[in-house]
Amino acid sequence: MSESIQLSVVVPLYNEEESLPRLIEWIDEVLSVHSYHYEVVLVDDGSSDKSWEIVCDLRRKYAFVRGIRFQRNYGKAAALNEGFKAAGGDVVITMDADLQDSPEEIPELYRMITEEQFDLVSGWKKKRYDSFHKRFPSKFYNGITRMVSGIKLHDFNCGLKAYRLQVVKSIEVYGEMHRYIPLIAKKAGFRKIGEKVVQHRKREFGEPKYESFSRGIKGILDLISLTFMHRFGKRPMHVFGFGGSLLFIIGFLIFLWLAIAKFVLNQYGMTDRPLFYFGLLCMVIGTQLFIAGFLGEMITRSAADRNKYLILERKGWDEE
């Protein structure tokens, strides 16, 4: 069955027992009309309600349903990452389980991947029904992410996205990085990223599960971490070593000038001037940064995936 699957729908969920039956029924109604060979991968992120029992019931009712259950709540990124590992369709669609994402959008997303040859298509909830305290931070961080990444998307965190299978098999999503999957994909070499305006529906059941007051701070920290790791993760000496060397040289030049001023020009004593302590601080911090870069370089060169590259195609080995 997996060899003929055209479409995989990955749904992370947490305490969504009320919405799951309607969601699966709705997906089946939409996709069966188009005669796709499809699967729905439900990833239960440690729900404390009856969500897993519902998943098991849906599995018995629908052959296309597959379920993964976590021991505890690990977060949306972990759920998506496991869903990506399990997905086998040529096109992978992700959507939330709360019925705010409409399955009616799936056929067009599938077409954009298969016919327009996009690597990734992200949904844009142009008209949102969320509260102001959720919309305002979202606009702010989407603007920051657009500026940093150069990817012209309006809604990086939209749960409704479509991917070529090769994309989800080539990236790893961890921590809170699900917000920046388009940026992760771009850094992995997938540059044809598109956008589609999608319908955003009002929540029918329960409360938001993956949002909190601290999401804004986490978003900033994640973006800084992701940008740094992709630019310098394989070459830490380039940033720490350069910065450390620059500070050390500045400190050394300060000490040189103070020494000349004391012993040649017979001016103030070296320790009598505040500049002495600034130079000392530069040399100490510069040395520490250089050592940090050196240790980081040693760790990187010893890592098992130091030469892990994505090979697009080979010629000459598998030809008759």
CB burial of 185-222 (b: ≥16 within 10 Å; e: otherwise) equals bbbbebeebbbbebebeeeeeeeebbeeeebeeebeeb
Tell whether 309 is covered by a domain: no
Tell whether 222 is covered by a domain: yes
pLDDT at 127: 78
Same domain, 257 and 211: no
Those residues with Cβ within 8 angstroms of residue 124's Cβ, 6 or more apart along the chain or in another chain? 153, 154, 155, 158, 195, 196, 197, 198
- How many domains, the chain? 2
Could you report the per-residue pLDDT of 259-297, keeping only the tens digit for each? 888 777 777 667 777 888 899 999 999 999 888 888 877
Which amino acid would we find at residue 252?
F
Tell whether 315 is covered by a domain: no
Same domain, 266 and 202: no
Q: What percentage of the chain exceeds 90 in pLDDT?
A: 47
pLDDT(139) > 80: no
pLDDT at 138: 72
pLDDT at 147: 80
Domain enclosing residue 264, as ranges = 236-301
Same domain, 176 and 39: yes
Who wins on pLDDT, 75 or 7? 7
Same domain, 98 and 197: yes
Please provide the average confidence, as pLDDT, over all residues in the chain. 83
First to last CA, the chain: 29
Same domain, 86 and 124: yes
Same domain, 81 and 209: yes
Highest mean pLDDT among 21-25, 202-206, 257-261: 21-25
Q: Reduce the secondary structure of 212-247 to three states and give it as a string.
A: CCCHHHHHHHHHHHHHHHHHHCCCHHHHHHHHHHHH
Tell whether 306 is covered by a domain: no
Please, are residues 97 and 11 in contact by the beta-carbon 8 Å criterion? Answer: yes
pLDDT at 146: 83
Which amino acid would we find at residue 175?
G
pTM over 0.85, yes/no: no
Same domain, 57 and 102: yes
Same domain, 153 and 278: no
Tell whether 226 is covered by a domain: yes
